[in-house]
Amino acid sequence: MPLPKPRNTTSTLLFLFLGSTLSFLFFGLMSLKINAMWVVVLQVTYIQVSHNAS
């Protein structure tokens, strides 16, 4: 089901504002997830390297 097209300028601006805010929040969460993933990967590799060294 397609999204209803806004009729007047106010709803169009509101729709664009909501869309940009949602995409900004989405990309922020994505980058946070990527950063957390890198931290976990670095921790795991560090643990493995120190395990192999001992």
- Mean pLDDT to the nearest integer, 13-34: 91
Helix ranges (H only) for 1-54 are 9-53
The per-residue pLDDT for 1 is 61
- Mean pLDDT to the nearest integer, 24-48: 91
Query: Domains of the chain: which residue ranges?
Result: 8-54
The reply to whether the predicted model has a pTM over 0.75 is no
Task: Quote the CA–CA distance of 1 and 12 in Å, as a whole number.
Answer: 19
pLDDT-derived band at 12 (thresholds 50, 70, 90) equals: confident
